[in-house]
Amino acid sequence: MKHIVLILVIVFSCVGVKAQFTMPFEELVHEGTWLQWPHNFTYGFGASDVEPAWVEITAALIGGEKVHIVAYDENHMTHIEDLLIGASVSLENVNIIVAENDDFWIRDNGPIFVYDSESQLTVLDWGFNGWGGNAPYALCDDIPIAVAAHLSIPLIDLNEMVLEGGAFEVDGHGTIMATRSSVTGADRNPGWTESQIEGYMEEYLGVTNFVWFDGLFGGIQDITDQHIDGFAKFQGNNTIVTMSHIDLSYWQVSVSDIALLYNSANSSGEQFEIVVLPLTQNDVTTTWGENVGTRASYVNYYVANNVVLVPNYNDPNDDVANEIIQGLYPDRAVVGIDSRNMFLNGGMVHCITQQQPIGDTGVGLHELEDLNQDRVIGVFDFLGRTVDNPTPGVLYLWLYESGFVKKGLAH
């Protein structure tokens, strides 16, 4: 977990960002990851086709962080536990809560975790309307409430503005990328000006530098209306992971949006470096042989504490993409997640995960009951600066020799 020191320094150095709330970068150390487990209560079928991917994800994550799972009801929770036990997945770091929900795309409908001005972990409850009314959503819209209640942390009701988690990317330095088609459109936020939307994002996400792509209204072919996390992702200090011009065109990204992406600048005015991932070589085919009819993206990966979960499709380019991504995250292990059946439903790994940053208790690969057995090797403020003489009563980030990181007051 030596990479945590670098991550803390990078992620919290949001120079110039003045906001009441700040959303930490995905690469920052997590307390855990949230999943909504597939079920048949909404559509009557399909859960068993995709559940193996949720089992794979849980197995990959539990060595480095907790896995929080939303089950539909008590019977569904028992079913999930039986599945995991049957796959020899330990339940030690698995936490399951019961809350009725419509679907499994928790990135879009679930909680967005931020820190308030006093570094208190807080849940933002943005509005969710089923991607502009294209799918059932009433139950999913209430999931942030259930999560905040379960964690006993503050909840901010922002339902007056619709914002899906996959519709934006933040870099931890004040920059946000988003497509207008999935945020500012009349089916998401009618009557809102772009300036008003930016005002909310500034206050609640802690961003000041907006990279707006026009995007594309996808109709029934892409009900997300071209979410940003399908084709562009921030990495490290000043990098965007995306695709080639040709593959972006295949992904129906416009010429003007491609030019903007390749020439976009961070909050300091410096142009982002670009790393290119391929699309799959072939159209994706499900495990039962159905051709989805399109090639798939690897950009929709998820960065966890000690692994990076990458969508894989039983395609020759799986190894190519995995190797490139492994090079970007040398201190984490790339784990390919079979996303063929998931992709038939329109999404990939990032779409079904949501990170929970560390709260008051902290997280680590080896959490010790008595931290006196562990040695503090670094203290940081929330701008990532090393603190040599902590001030009593002030909240800091404490890094232990074992890799454990916690928030706590100096005494």
Angle at which helices 47-61 and 74-86 cross, to 10° = 60
351 noted as active-site residue: yes
Q: In what order do the strands lie in the sheet with 395-400?
A: 376-380, 395-400, 405-409
CA-based nearest residue to 251, from 273, 280, 274, 271: 280
E-assigned strands of 239-347?
Answer: 239-242, 273-276, 302-303, 307-312, 333-338
Helices and strands (H and E) in the chain: how many? 11, 19
Please identify which of the residues 28, 89, 349, 351 carries the catalytic annotation.
351
CB 167 within 8 A of CB 224: yes
CA distances for 297 relative to 350, 353, 400, angstroms = 11, 16, 37
Q: In what order do the strands lie in the sheet with 333-338?
A: 302-303, 307-312, 333-338
DSSP per-residue string spanning 215-232 = ---BTTTBTTSS-GGGT-
- What residues are annotated to the active site? 351
